[in-house]
Amino acid sequence: MERATAHNIARVLNEALPYIQRFAGKTIVVKFGGNAMIDENLKKCFASNIALMNQVGIHTVVVHGGGPQIGQLLNQLGMESRFVQGMRVTDSETMDVVEMVLGAQVNKSIVALLSQVGGKAVGLTGKDGGLLRARPLQLEQIDPEADFMDLGQVGEVESVNVEILQTLKQGGFIPVIAPVGVGEDGRSYNINADLVASAVASALGAEKLLLLTDTSGILNSDGTLLTGLVPDEINKLVKDGTIYGGMLPKVRCALEAIGSGVNSATVLDGRVENSVLLELFTDSGVGTQIVSEQQ
């Protein structure tokens, strides 16, 4: 190994050390989605990042999406995909496909990837042990002028059974959660993965929530990355239209998490190799960190 390369590796490790010490013993919830779930190299990098975090004593919980995979199977089956404000309209037949894709195909593939790199992962849906108690998504949250109002079995998180996650934590396991919940009547509900990640982070009192996206983070009107924001700044950016579209629900989830006691939430670019480690263990980070006013 060349001396310059060795010195660079040592510098990186020294830079990471205080962050490893800071996060050791803490819980970090990571929402895994977007291109990071499709690109094979990014998937492998993500799995290695999570396994390393677990190895150095960081309790990590992964919540994953799977919208593109669901859409692909629905298309193959000749079933229509309909959306209202980004939410997939989910009738009983579509719910069967959602559960099959999220709970079997996607969830198990992530568990397998983590296992390949030495991670002790356990796959769960929100139905396992009543992990995610769900209720129907309230219609008042949906645009009253939308053409299609009935979302079917689309839900939101009512409560999280943290006992299951604490048990896995004590055993050194990495929970990998598919965003399917169960209602009081036993019906399954399709829940947005960002909402689940935020609810899980809040319930666990996590140190940090990471939301992987297909953008570099939150940008200002000039397209420049904003590396640190507080709620008042977020609200101004929403009001003036700088934050819009698909970033809105992610920002709301981040605000809900820090409002519930999570120390910080970061919207980061899942298209960057090793983005999770770069965000956690380097001085510069790779995203937009949102913290409360009190910090």
Contacts of 241 (CB under 8 A, 6+ apart): none
Q: Which domain holds residue 188?
A: 22-215
> Across all residues in the chain, what is the average pLDDT?
90
Residue 270 lies in a domain: no
Tell which wins on pLDDT, 9 or 56.
Answer: 56
The residue-averaged pLDDT of 241-262 equals 91
Residue 252 lies in a domain: no
Residue 223 lies in a domain: no
State yes or no: pLDDT of 142 exceeds 50: no
Residue 259 lies in a domain: no
Cβ-contact 209, 198 below 8 angstroms: yes
Residue 265 lies in a domain: no
Residue 228 lies in a domain: no
Of all helices (H) and strands (E), which one includes residue 280? helix 275-281
CA 140 – CA 143 distance, rounded (Å): 7
CATH of residue 133: 3.40.1160.10
Domain count, the chain: 1
> What would the pLDDT profile of 48-59 be if each residue is shown by its tens digit?
999 999 999 999
Cβ-contact 283, 289 below 8 angstroms: no
Residue 278 lies in a domain: no
> What would the pLDDT profile of 106-131 be if each residue is shown by its tens digit?
999 999 999 999 999 999 999 999 99
State yes or no: pLDDT of 262 exceeds 60: yes
